[in-house]
A and B are shown apart, each in its own frame.
Chain A
Amino acid sequence: MSGPDHSQDQPEAVSRRQFIGWGAAAVAGIMIAPGVTLFDLAHGRPAGEAASGKVRWGMLIDTSQCSAGCNDCVTACNTENHLSGGIRETDSQWIRKMELKDQRGGKTHSLPMMCQHCEHPPCVDVCPTGASFKRADGIVLVDRHICIGCRYCMMACPYKARSFVHEEVTGQNPDVPRGKGCVESCTLCAHRIDRDQKPACVEACAAAGRNAIIFGDLNDPQSEISKRIATYATTQVRADLALNTAVRYQGI
């Protein structure tokens, strides 16, 4: 009896190496710039575990990829959170599309504007009941069980991100309870994040082939969003207020 016969293994070993080579090529293919890939690694968190302060969820909006005619993120938000989709003053709008124009140069930008999930949120500062709060992972939310609908937070928000529910709501998404008499705003789709999914607007933007909204962990230097922020010049809207927003814009 001799040692193990390697002649049989040889072709397989080659094919495995070949396969790894293809994998590397595929990874290189989805790299946008050195070290910047299109997909981020998932942050798994068991259902029974609390949101961690080690994570800070954020978004980067690449305005060069955002198109003036496209409303997909708004529609996805309305569907996911069961908003009416109306744009009257009394309708809830968690995300709005804005058109900006440089008055001198004439350059136009289109971008979505929503709750910026500030590190130092003014809405939380002014809330008299403690209903407005920031979750450990940086998501700014309203606890509707505590909210009395005074709307101080709406006054305090520099981004006009919050809405008041003026009318009774029926047929809600079971994961997104909402009703008359409370203030509400973008939750960064906390219910989806808790299940390791991306926010609805991010998915819709990717589905439309634009990938203008990048979602990820700002505290993780290896996350795609952190790499992009480290690579490209990005802006916080009203950075002068020093709120350290979790939503950043590229190209404005």
Chain B
Amino acid sequence: MKAEGGRMKEKAGTACRSWLRARRESLRQLFILHPSSFILRAVLIATAMFAGMLSSAVYADRVPKPVIEAAQGEKCVESTDFMRRHHMELLMHQRDETVHKGIRARKYSLNGCIECHASRKNDSVIGTDQNFCQSCHSYVAVKLDCFECHASKPKALAAGAGGVQVLTGQAAK
């Protein structure tokens, strides 16, 4: 009895598989070999493209992006893409160099960033969501605590600075 039951199951399985194969084949015939299938595909692709363009045009305005005020310097110390990904590493490295070794090279210093990126409106890199540092940090919700200790304004404009000093330099490269 047992052996017969197994054989019957096997038979049913084979029948099922062959039916599926036949169905798949007929569908393929319809779409690939039928002359009208080319027209059908072209229409489908065109519709999809049009819909895509339409939606991107609509959503470009809907998705908010950080508004960043252009820097005052000519060129950043590294490329924009590099700075977007790695500015925190450069700053972290420079901070240890400066505090522990007294190296005050201006190329990757926070003060160097502020010199160029301070807004023309409030002379700061923070304050509103248009200010350079704050715009992106509030957009991506990353806490920005540099300026709890560090001045957010360039030296000449910071209140209480012990004398105005013209800082030129390596920052602009």
Q: Interface residues, chain A, CB within 8 Å of chain B?
A: 47-51, 76, 79-82, 133, 135-137, 141, 143-145, 168-175, 177-180, 182, 190-191, 193-195, 200
Contact = CB atoms under 8 A, between A and B. Distances in A.
Given A82-B160, A136-B101, A174 B111 contact: yes
| Contact size range, B | 20 to 34
Contacts, number: 78
A49 B103 contact: yes
Contact of A135 (B102, B150, B154): B102
B102, B154, B159, most chain A CB atoms within 10 A: B102
B153 A190 contact: no
B87 interface: no
A145 B154 contact: no
B160 A173 contact: yes
A214 to B, nearest CB: 21
A175 B150 contact: no
Interface string B95-115: 101011111111000010010
B119 to A, nearest CB: 16
A169 B104 contact: no
A179 B149 CA distance: 4
A135 B102 CA distance: 8
B151 A47 contact: no
Given A173-B160, A174-B158, A180 B100 contact: no
Contact of B149 (A48, A137, A169): A169
Contacts of A200: 162
